[in-house]
Amino acid sequence: MAIRPILVAGDPRLTTPATRVTVFDDELAALVEEMFETNTAAPGAGLAANQIGDPRSVFVYDLRDGGVRHHGHVINPVLETSGIPETMPDPEDTEGCLSVPGELFPTGRAQWARVTGVDVENNPVTVEGTGYLARCLQHESDHLAGLLYL
C-alpha cells in the first residue's frame, strides 16, 4: 500500500462532486486501505477520496470523541443532519482540513449527523453521532459533494 499526496485548496478536483461507486473489487479495497494509511500519516480525523485525487464517492474516518474511537469507511454516503445553525458560527467553533493545511476556520455544523452507505463489500453501513463525529461526517460528505469549508 502507499501513502498518497493530499491535494490542497485550489485544485479543481476538490470542488468536483464525486462519482458514485458501482464496482466493488480489490482495487476499491486497496483505495480504502491507502486512504486509511494516508489519513493516519497526515494525521487527520477523516479523508475523502477526492482529497487524494480519486473521483469515487468514498471517505474514511478515524477519530476519538468522548474517549471512544470511531473508525470506518463509507462508500456512496447519504448525509442526514439535525438543523444547521442559521447564525454565524461561534469564533471558537473551528474546524481544520487536510486540504487547507495549518488553518482553522469557524464552521457552523449540525450537532447530530447520520451517514448511510455501503462498505467495500457492498454491505449496508450506517454511522451516526454527535459532536466531533457529527462534524467529521458532515465535513467528509461535503468534500464528496465538491464543497470545501472555506
Q: Which of 27, 80, 92, 140 is catalytic?
A: 140
Enter the C-alpha cell of residue 126: 450506517
Whether 140 is catalytic is yes
Integer Cα distance of 101 and 78 in angstroms: 27
Is the distance from CB of 52 to CB of 5 less than 8 angstroms?
A: yes
CA distance 65 to 129: 10
Q: Are 113 and 60 in contact (CB under 8 A)?
A: no
What residues act catalytically?
Answer: 140
